[in-house]
């Protein structure tokens, strides 16, 4: 009999190894296991294979004190749906104006509601007046596409220079034309003052005029090195200077990517000792 029991237990263990790790038991399954397991007393510990001994003991306690309860299905994750009046306002604004997500959000905000663009998109998807691939004409990416032929982005970059006093930061400016991906790199300096930045704006202005690449919009961040006179150089040619939202480098993705590529593919391969050396490297790297 003992040998037969060992064989049955081995078969059960093999069968259990082929099953999913987690098995759901119905109330009737519990009753069967408890009915045949309770009379065995402490021996049940060596015989159990599909549940742990602690689970069996818990079932015993629950059956004795009547606390056994069926598991409740977990509620749906995520944020709860917004109230129906707010949904109605979102749908009404979209239908009456045809605006994109950003303008709809601005209109709803003026009505005293705080809601994200994604929530607005979810509402419009539910009522069937927007699709998953619905492109918001007010988005930054769409703005860049519409103005790529006349828009530039600019930013500062930095390279370490070796001197007798140690490492020194050397700065430069980079401009990129979004439509053609043509770039212009300034001469470098250790002191990027307001006057130096303004002079680079003038130098760049002559460049895009010579290259016949219009500059009607210039996108830049809020770096303190940009001065009012820097903006004035561009505004004098009816170019609009567009400052991006603070702490939003993704809005300058084009120029950020070019700077990153220039550093990894070119600048990181050189030990720079003079500004003249760095200027020559930048001149060749910009064309490459």
Answer yes or no: is pLDDT of 71 > 60. no
Residue partners of 176: CB distance under 8 A and separation at least 6: 152, 153, 154, 182, 183, 254, 255, 258
User: What angle (nearest 5°) sits at the alpha carbon of residue 106, between those of residues 102 and 108?
Assistant: 115
Predicted confidence band of residue 72 (pLDDT cuts 50, 70, 90): low
218-254 pLDDT, tens digit each: 999 999 999 999 999 999 999 999 998 777 788 899 9
pLDDT at 78: 60
- Taking the CA atoms of residue 27, residue 28, residue 32 and residue 38 in that order, the dihedral angle to the nearest 10 degrees is 30
More confident residue, 102 or 132: 102
| Residue 159 contacts residue 267 (beta carbons within 8 Å) | yes
pLDDT at 161: 96
pLDDT at 117: 82
Task: Answer yes or no: CATH 3.30.420.10 is held by domain 145-287.
Answer: yes
**Domain ranges, ordered by start, for the chain:** 2-65, 84-136, 145-287
Average pLDDT over residues 153-160: 96
Average pLDDT over residues 40-53: 78
Predicted confidence band of residue 131 (pLDDT cuts 50, 70, 90): low
pLDDT at 192: 96
Predicted confidence band of residue 138 (pLDDT cuts 50, 70, 90): low
pLDDT at 118: 84
Answer yes or no: is pLDDT of 16 > 70. no
Mean pLDDT of the chain: 85
Hey, what are 25's tokens?
A: 């038991």
Q: Please give the model's pTM, rounded to 2 decimal places.
A: 0.56
* Residue 51: how many other CB atoms lie within 10 Å: 16
Instruction: Report the interhelical angle of 117-127 vs 84-97 (nearest 10°).
Output: 80
Average pLDDT over residues 14-33: 77
More confident residue, 119 or 8: 119
Predicted confidence band of residue 60 (pLDDT cuts 50, 70, 90): confident
Answer yes or no: is pLDDT of 186 > 60. yes
């Amino acid at each position: 009999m003992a040998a037969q029991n060992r064989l049955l237990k081995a078969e059960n263990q093999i069968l259990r190894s082929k099953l999913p790790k987690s098995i759901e038991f119905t109330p009737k399954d519990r009753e069967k296991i408890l009915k045949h397991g309770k009379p065995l007393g402490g021996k049940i510990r060596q015989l159990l294979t599909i549940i742990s001994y602690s689970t069996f003991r818990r079932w015993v306690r629950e059956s004795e004190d009547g606390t056994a309860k069926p598991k409740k299905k977990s509620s749906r994750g995520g944020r709860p749906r917004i109230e129906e009046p707010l949904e109605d306002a979102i749908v009404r604004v979209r239908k009456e104006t045809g605006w994109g997500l950003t303008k709809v959000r601005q209109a709803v905000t003026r009505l005293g509601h705080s809601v994200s663009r994604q929530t607005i998109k979810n509402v419009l998807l539910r009522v069937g007046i927007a699709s998953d691939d619905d492109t918001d004409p007010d988005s930054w990416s769409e703005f860049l596409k519409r103005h790529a032929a006349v828009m530039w982005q600019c930013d500062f970059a930095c390279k370490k220079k070796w001197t007798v006093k140690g490492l020194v930061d050397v700065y430069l400016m980079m401009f990129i034309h979004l439509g053609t991906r043509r770039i212009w790199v300034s001469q470098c300096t250790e002191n990027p003052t307001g006057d130096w930045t303004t002079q680079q704006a003038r130098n760049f202005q002559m460049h895009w005029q010579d290259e016949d690449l219009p500059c009607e919009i210039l996108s830049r961040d809020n770096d303190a090195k940009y001065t009012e006179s820097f903006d004035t150089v561009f505004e004098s040619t009816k170019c609009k200077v567009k400052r991006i939202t603070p702490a939003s480098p993704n809005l300058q993705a084009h120029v950020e990517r070019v700077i990153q590529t220039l550093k990894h593919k070119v600048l990181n391969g050189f030990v720079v000792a003079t500004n003249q050396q760095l200027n020559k490297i930048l001149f060749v790297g910009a064309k490459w």
